[in-house]
Amino acid sequence: MALLDFVFDKFSNDVGIDLGTANTLVYVHGKGIVINEPSVVAVNQKTKQILAIGEEAKRMVGRTPSHIVANRPLVDGVISDFEITEQMLRYFIEKVNQSAFGFLSRPRVVVGIPSGVTEVERRAVQDATLNAGARQAFLIEEPMAAAIGARLPIQDASGSMIVDIGGGTAEIAVISLGGIVTSRSIRVAGDEMNQNIIQFARDEFNLLLGERTAEDVKIKIGSAYPMKETLMAKIRGRDLVTGLPKEVAVTDEQIRGALQRSVRVIVNSIKTAVEETPPELVADIMEQGITLAGGGALLRGLDRLVAEETQMPVYVADDPLTAVARGAGIVLEDLETLKDVLVATEFERIPR
């Protein structure tokens, strides 16, 4: 077995995967992040054939004939379509393990999962990863991976608080001595914010927006805290009254109002997590601050709003979008030392 492992190690690139609702990031041992593509798969419904995965498939969203469906195989951070997730994982694993010895490319894989998932959902991720060509599949909770990726002192006897806002879920966790003390996983994050903008355009302007347009305007002028200067953007969609194309100009204040519902849920969940944290650890967090990671951390002024609401310092992690994937990669590079941070499952044992 040791000889077989040696052979596989020789021809495989071990990978850390942030299997996100919106994007999948792949970290390769010794190379860093090599793939950052949307978690979208385009399928021909007539032939059941997969036409495109990732960036190419995302370009098809909302633009395909009826028999071609571009969809996300993950909803709220968990697998909704097992077979398509498996195909997507195989595509990404094979992409980073292209070699003349393809049959020997059996990498070890660490996958980030939301902290609130059930045993069945964990099993689904692990099975999909193993079926996609992994030699071994290890699972790590996303807030733990994000904390490691943000270089927080997770193994110290002091409290570190991480808020990882992705596409489908927002993960809030207080970590001490290499374990999660308090955590909350809510299914309100980037996608819900996009829906808020779509609903706002419908209510305010009788305008039907696509998801991509909503996301673009969120990135361009979205904010959680009043801005010093006014930002403006034009949004295009279909007029629900006339059925014709329509363009309207919106300000950052209007979009902030639209996003307020989702932002409020996230901020309240952070406050609840602080209330549930033991007082000794709250004292540590007051000193070290709260770290924001994930794409949602890039929403303008969110750090200021959270700081104001919690009365604690708040920092945005360096390159917050890649924190989970980097954390999974760091665990992969030192699996023996960091194996305790992985999700213990009854069906996978880390070999000694």
Domain coordinates in residue numbering, the chain: 2-145+323-341, 158-188+262-318, 190-259
Report how far residue 236's alpha carbon sits from residue 197's, in angstroms, rounded to the nearest whole number.
Answer: 13
In words, the CATH class of domain 190-259 is alpha beta
**Overall fold of domain 2-145+323-341:** Nucleotidyltransferase; domain 5 (3.30.420)
pLDDT of residue 352: 38
* Global pTM value: 0.85
269 or 5, higher pLDDT: 269
Residue 97 structure tokens? 């393990």
Which of 84-88, 97-101, 255-259, 264-268 bottoms out in mean pLDDT, i.e. has the lowest? 97-101
CA distances to 58, 72, 97, 218, 291 from 65, rounded to whole Å, are 14, 17, 33, 27, 43
Mean pLDDT of 236-265: 92
pLDDT of residue 154: 83
pLDDT of residue 161: 92
pLDDT of residue 201: 93
pLDDT of residue 50: 83
Residue 10 has pLDDT above 60, yes or no: no
- In this prediction, residue 77 has a pLDDT band, given cuts at 50, 70 and 90, of confident
Q: Superfamily for 158-188+262-318?
A: ATPase, nucleotide binding domain (3.30.420.40)
Residue 8 has pLDDT above 70, yes or no: no
CA distances to 188, 194, 226 from 260, rounded to whole Å, are 12, 12, 12
pLDDT of residue 133: 82
Q: Do the domains at 158-188+262-318 and 190-259 have one common CATH topology? A: no
pLDDT of residue 119: 85
Q: At residue 59, what is the residue type? A: R
